[in-house]
């Protein structure tokens, strides 16, 4: 996948937390929370893990065909961890390695689902929004837990959801992706509206709580590369990149 970032949006990653907040405040103005989508034929999941006592960041990307959700491609990247763990600033810790993984993809996704937040973030620039703005690609944040905001109880039926609100603003949806399990937190990242984000998150979800995009990426980020490679071989897909 060819990575191109508008020079006006490029910024350093080795910054102080205060500088990182200022960058978020600047980039949040570029987030688009309305649909600007090409036909969606490939969806990707992004997840990040850490190795060697958090000194190495491991980013994983899995590309699935849509709507069939068959695995088509994947990539891994490992880089030294250069930013401390600071709640609300995780994109500065994770995105540099995510970009390296995306650059190794053979196939370019039309939509990226990130394991984290989009605009459901104190400064409306979670990892999905940050990544989407830099790459000018549609992204969705799919979080396992709430970072900010309040919501009403979520009905128990699969696909039911309620708005997630913060300071009078709707910032996402609390989605029951499977009956009888905890909801997930879906928010627009970039170039997509809330209802479309919920619809695509559900369309990417099978029998489990999390979307298949996230599940495949998590396997990779957790070190299960051999399992992924075997699945690709069964599907007849030849890898062109080593993670």
Residues 144-168: tens digit of each pLDDT: 999 999 999 999 999 999 999 999 9
- Dump pLDDT digits (tens) for 78-127: 999 999 999 999 999 999 999 999 999 999 999 999 999 999 999 999 99
Instruction: Give the pLDDT band (50/70/90) at residue 240.
Output: very low
Mean pLDDT of the residues in the chain: 93
End-to-end CA distance of the chain: 14
pLDDT of residue 111: 98
Least Cα distance to 213 among 14, 67, 57, 105 occurs for: 67
Q: Which residues are CB-neighbours of 14 under 8 A, at least 6 positions away?
A: 82, 83
pLDDT of residue 5: 95
pLDDT of residue 220: 83
Residue with more model confidence, 232 or 16: 16
Q: Which contacts (CB < 8 Å, 24+ apart) does range 154-161 have?
A: 154/183, 156/180, 159/202, 161/186, 161/198
Residue with more model confidence, 227 or 57: 57
Q: How far apart are CA 2 and CA 128, in angstroms?
A: 18
Instruction: Give the pLDDT band (50/70/90) at residue 243.
Output: very low
Does residue 224 carry a pLDDT above 70? no
CATH of domain 33-144+186-234: 3.30.2170.10
**pTM more than 0.85:** yes
Residue with more model confidence, 219 or 37: 37
Q: How far apart are CA 237 and CA 214, in angstroms?
A: 20
Q: How far apart are CA 66 and CA 2, in angstroms?
A: 21
pLDDT of residue 231: 65
Place of tokens 């053979």: 106
The helix/strand/coil state of 175 is strand
Least Cα distance to 173 among 24, 112, 159 occurs for: 159
Does residue 232 carry a pLDDT above 80? no
């Amino acid at each position: 996948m060819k990575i191109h970032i508008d020079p006006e949006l490029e910024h350093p990653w080795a910054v102080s937390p205060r500088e990182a907040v200022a960058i978020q405040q600047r980039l949040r103005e570029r987030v688009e929370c309305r649909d600007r989508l090409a036909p969606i034929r490939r969806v990707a999941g992004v997840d990040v893990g850490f190795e060697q006592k958090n000194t190495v960041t491991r980013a994983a990307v899995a590309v699935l065909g849509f709507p069939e959700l068959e695995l088509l491609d994947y990539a891994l990247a490992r880089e030294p961890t250069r930013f401390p763990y600071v709640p609300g600033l995780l994109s500065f810790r994770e995105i540099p390695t995510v970009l390296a993984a995306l650059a190794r993809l053979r196939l370019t996704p039309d939509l990226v689902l990130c394991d984290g937040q989009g605009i459901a973030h104190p400064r409306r620039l979670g990892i999905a929004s940050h990544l989407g703005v830099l790459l000018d690609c549609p992204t969705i944040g799919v979080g396992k837990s709430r970072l900010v905001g309040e919501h009403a109880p979520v009905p128990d039926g699969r696909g039911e959801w309620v708005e997630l609100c913060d300071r009078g603003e709707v910032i996402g949806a609390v989605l029951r992706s499977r009956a009888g399990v905890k909801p997930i937190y879906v928010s627009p990242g970039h170039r997509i509206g809330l209802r479309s984000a919920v619809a695509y998150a559900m369309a990417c979800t099978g029998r489990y709580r999390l979307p298949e995009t996230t599940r495949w990426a998590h396997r990779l980020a957790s070190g299960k590369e051999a399992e992924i490679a075997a699945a690709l071989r069964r599907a007849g897909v030849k890898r062109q990149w080593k993670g």
